[in-house]
Amino acid sequence: MKNIKIFTVLSCIIFFTSCKKVFDVDQTGGKIAPDQQWNNPDFIKGYVNGFYEILPTWNRSETISEEAGGGSALSAFLKGTNNSQSGYPDRVWDYANVRSINNFFENIESGKSVLLQADYESLKGQAYFFRAYLYYRMVKVLGGVPIITSVLNPTADINTLLVKRNTSLECFDFISKQLDSAIALLPKSYPATDIGRVTRGAAISIKGEMLLLKASPLFCKTPNAAYWTDAYNTLNAAKTMLDEDGYGLFKDNTLKTNENMWYDKVNAAKEMVLNVRYHFPEKANGIQQGQRPLSQSTGAAGSCNPTWEMVQQYPMQNGLNINDANSGYDPTQFWKNRDPRFYCAIVYNGARYDFAQVTPRVQWIFTGLSGDDGYRVYNLTGFYCRKGIDTTLGVLVWNRQAFDWPIIRYAEVMLNLAEAANETGHSIDAKNLITQIRQRAHIDEGIGNYGLNALVGIDYQSTLDAVMKERLIEFAYEGKRFWDLRRRRMFSVLNDYGTFHSKGATFNADAAASQYGVDVTQSNSGISLQLSNILVNSPANFDRNDFIKIITNYVTEPIDNSVTNQIQLSDKFYFGAIDPQYILQNKNLKQNLGWDTGTFDPVIQ
C-alpha cells in the first residue's frame, strides 16, 4: 500500500508543523503520478474524504464549565494560571489542511472531465465548506489569522512566506463567502451510501452559527445591529432550508427522547444537521472508558462526573427553576420530578442505570459501600454522566461505542435563531422556539409557558436568560456550554461559583436496618444487592424516593479541597494565544493582547 502525501508549506520556517496524508489506496503499479491524481474520480473523491478529519470528534469541554469535574483539582485553565504555551481549548493552527484544500482548488478543474457534473459540484462544495470550517475553528479561538488561498512555494522569497494576520472581520467575511459558495453547490441530501457528507443545510447552519459568533459580545463589545440582523436573517433562512430538506426535531413520544436519539440513528438523522458518524468495527471511540462507573468499565473512571452546580441547573418537570417558590423542589429529594432531560444525563445515588449483562441495575455511589464506584474512590462528585453512554454494551465490550457525535443539531439551529431573534426585536419568536424544544422534552405545558418566566418573549434580558438556560440543559455534555459563556462574555458565571462542588452520599446503616430490615452485617456487595432488590422488586405503591432519602446522608463539599481551588478567569482568557513557536518562526505574526507582549486585538469593535 502506497501513501500519497501533501508536504507542508513553509517547511523552511516550520510555519506548518506536519505533513498531511491525503488518502491511502491499494496500488499494484507503484506510486501515483501527480497527473494521475486528478484523472481518476475515485482518487479525487478520496482526496476530499480526507477533509472530514477536520471535523471535531467527541469534543465536549465539559470540565472547563460547570458541567463536570474531571479530576480532584480544578484545571490550570479555570484557575487562570495558563500561559501562552499551555494551549487553549480547541485551539487549531492547521495550515497543512489549508494547503491540502488549496491544492484541491488548483487542480480540480483538470479533473472535471472525469467527474459527473453532480459529483464535481458536490466535491467543490465540500471543499469550500471545509476551508470555511477550518478557518472558522481557528478564528473562533484566536481571532484573525492569515488567509491563504493558494499553494505557497516553500522555495519562494522568505518575505512572501512570512505572512501577516488578517483582521477578525476580514476572516469572518472570507468564511462567509466560502460558505456561500458551498451552499450554492452542495446537494440537500445524498444517497444512502454517502450519508454523513456535508449538505447545503449543514453549510448554511454553520454560516448562521458563524455570524452569531461574529455579532456576539466576544467580538463586538459594542453591539452592531447590522451584524445581528445578518445572523438573524441567515439563521432564519437556515431553518427554512432545513425544513424544506426534511430536517426537524427528533421525536419518539417517550420521556427519553434526548437519550434515545443517540440509539435511533435512522430516525434521529433528521435532527443531526452535521455529525461525525461512527460504526463498529470500522470506527469506534473510547469515550465510555473514563465516563462509565469503573464496575462497568476497565482501567479508568471519573473523567466526566457532573458537578453539584450542574445538577442544580436542571429545572423541574413543570419547567420552573428549582429556586422558584412554586417549583415544588425538595432539596432532600433533589432528583425527584425534574426535567425529563435530567434523567437522560445525570446518574444519582439510587438511580436505575442498567447495563447489558446486569439489567435491572441500580447505581449506588455510597462512599465506603459501593466499592470502586463509590464517592471519593473513582467518583469525585457523587454523580455519573449517562449522556452519550451506550448502556447496551457490557463491561468487556465498552470500547465498541459507536454513537455519532453531533456537531450541530436542528435544536441548536433553533436556539441560535432564538438568540439572534431576541437581539433583533423578535423576542416572541425566541420564546416560541424555546417552547418547541421544551415541549419535545415533555416539560409540562402549564398555562402555556412550559415553565418559562412570564417576561420571556417580552423582556430582552429575561429572554436571553431563557435561551442560555435552555442551551445549557438541551446540549449538556455536547461541547457547547463553555463556548456559549465565552461568546456572551459570561465567564463571570463561572467565577461566581468560586469553585465546583460535589454531593457525596454516605450510607445510613441504622435507618436501613431499622426501617427496611436490611441486614447490614453482610459484606458491602451483599448490602448493595439488598438495597437494589428493594428498589427494583418493591410494589408500585412503595415510595422509592423516600427510601433513597432515608438510607442516605449527603455532604456538600468542594471537589478541589486545595487552598488554590478558586475559579479566576480574567478577560484575557476570552481569546487564546497563538503558540509562541509560530511567532518565533515568523516575525510578522503578532500575539493576541494579554498574552506575552501581544499587540493584536481580535475584537472587531
Say whether pLDDT at 504 is over 80: yes
Q: 459-476 pLDDT, tens per residue?
A: 999 999 999 999 999 999
**Band of the pLDDT at 30, cuts 50, 70, 90?**
low
pTM value? 0.93
**Band of the pLDDT at 357, cuts 50, 70, 90?**
confident
- Within 8 A by CB and 6+ apart from 413, the residues are 205, 208, 235, 238, 239, 242, 273
How far apart CA 371 and CA 386 sit, in angstroms, is 19
Long-range contacts of residues 264-269, Cβ cutoff 8 Å, at least 24 apart: 265/404, 269/195
Residue 417 · residue 432 · CB < 8 Å: no
**Band of the pLDDT at 521, cuts 50, 70, 90?**
very high
Selected residue with higher pLDDT from 261 and 358:
261
- pLDDT recorded at residue 599: 98
Q: Domains in the chain and their CATH numbers?
A: 1-186+579-605 (1.25.40.890), 195-277+404-489 (1.25.40.900), 305-393+501-558 (no CATH)
Beta bridge partners of residue 275, listed in sequence order = 406
- Within 8 A by CB and 6+ apart from 536, the residues are 352, 360, 362
- pLDDT recorded at residue 31: 66
Q: What backbone torsions phi and psi does residue 338 show, to the nearest 5 degrees? A: -95, 165
- pLDDT recorded at residue 11: 32
Say whether pLDDT at 18 is over 60: no
pLDDT, mean over the chain: 93
- pLDDT recorded at residue 9: 32
Region 208-215: what's the mean pLDDT? 98
Q: Provide the CB-side half-sphere exposure for 215 (13 A, CA).
A: 26
Q: Provide the CB-side half-sphere exposure for 198 (13 A, CA).
A: 33
Q: 256-282 pLDDT, tens per residue?
A: 999 999 999 999 999 999 999 999 999
SS3 263: helix
